[in-house]
Structure 1
Amino acid sequence: MTWNVYLSGEIHTDWREQIIKGCEAKDLNIVFTSAVTDHDSSDAAGDGLGAESNNFWRDHKSAKVNAIRIQKLIKQCDMAVIRFGDQYKQWNAAFDAGYCAALDKPYITLHSEEIVHPLKEVDASAKAWATSPDQIVEILDYLLNQK
């Protein structure tokens, strides 16, 4: 069985790589997808539509272009992992969680205990809450290998 897992959220740590390497070590048959994680490239996604003197409109265009990719990948995934880091507010990740919930796509949140309260509604719709990439790998191993 091959699974398609969408990795959403925080881009400033190597959590994605930890999950991917952990799944490779267990020889799990998973295709991982994600939004563009290079911050500068993501911010410039709409620049081909014309220069903007106001950053609001530049961000607006780029968000819409990025949404094309994100929505397609979430619709295609079997489940998503949505990471919320402690340093920055990942509003986009919260939006991805809501999109998953609206599509009835299962998702697992990944975040520290310190931000449980602000994420209570996001976690309430999640199928699980993990605090480490290793926990995500264990869940994926279970989902793919248990009979």
Structure 2
Amino acid sequence: MSWTVYLSGEIHTDWREQIILGAKALDLAIEFTSAVTDHDASDAAGDVLGAQDNGFWRDHQSSKVNAIRTKNLIEKADIVVVRFGDKYKQWNAAFDAGYCAALGKPYITLHDESIIHPLKEVDAAAMAWAQTPQQVVEVLRYVVG
């Protein structure tokens, strides 16, 4: 059986690559999917539908276009990994975690100790909390392997 793992959240570090390479090294039967991780491209996703003078409407338009991908890939995933970094607030990651919880979709949170408190509800619904990409790989090895 092949599993699909959706990688959600923070886009400013190489955590996705670490998980993908770790799973590949273990020869795990996993297909990884993700949101668009190019920040500028994501912000401009809705621009093809017409220019917006107001930043709110540009963000609104682009978030809806991005949601087509995100919604479908989360729904198709067997497991979702939601990464919260310390540099930026990832409201979209919290939304993805909430969507997973509403769907009954298993998810793993990935973040350090410094943000345990603000993520307590998100972590409470998660199946696991990992602090490193390697810990995620080990959970995937157990679950998928």
5 Å-filtered alignment, 1:76-87, equals 76-87=76-87
Partner of 1:60: 60
TM-score, normalized by length of structure 1? 0.98
Partner of 2:120: 120
Q: Percent identity?
A: 72
What is the number of residues matched between the two proteins?
A: 145
RMSD of aligned residue pairs (Cα, Å): 0.4
The reply on whether 1:69 has 2:53 as its aligned counterpart is no
Partner of 1:23: 23
- TM-superposed CA distance for 1:112, in Å, is 0.3
The reply on whether 1:109 has 2:117 as its aligned counterpart is no
- TM-superposed CA distance for 1:144, in Å, is 1.5
Q: Distance in 2 between matches of 1:71 and 1:111?
A: 22
SS class of match (2:81): strand
Q: Distance in 2 between matches of 1:43 and 1:87?
A: 18
- TM-superposed CA distance for 1:119, in Å, is 0.2
- TM-superposed CA distance for 1:76, in Å, is 0.2
SS class of match (2:143): helix
Partner of 1:129: 129
SS class of match (2:85): coil
Q: Distance in 2 between matches of 1:128 and 1:28?
A: 19
Which blocks of at least 5 consecutive residues in structure 2 are unaligned? none
Which blocks of at least 5 consecutive residues in structure 1 are unaligned? none
SS class of match (1:135): helix
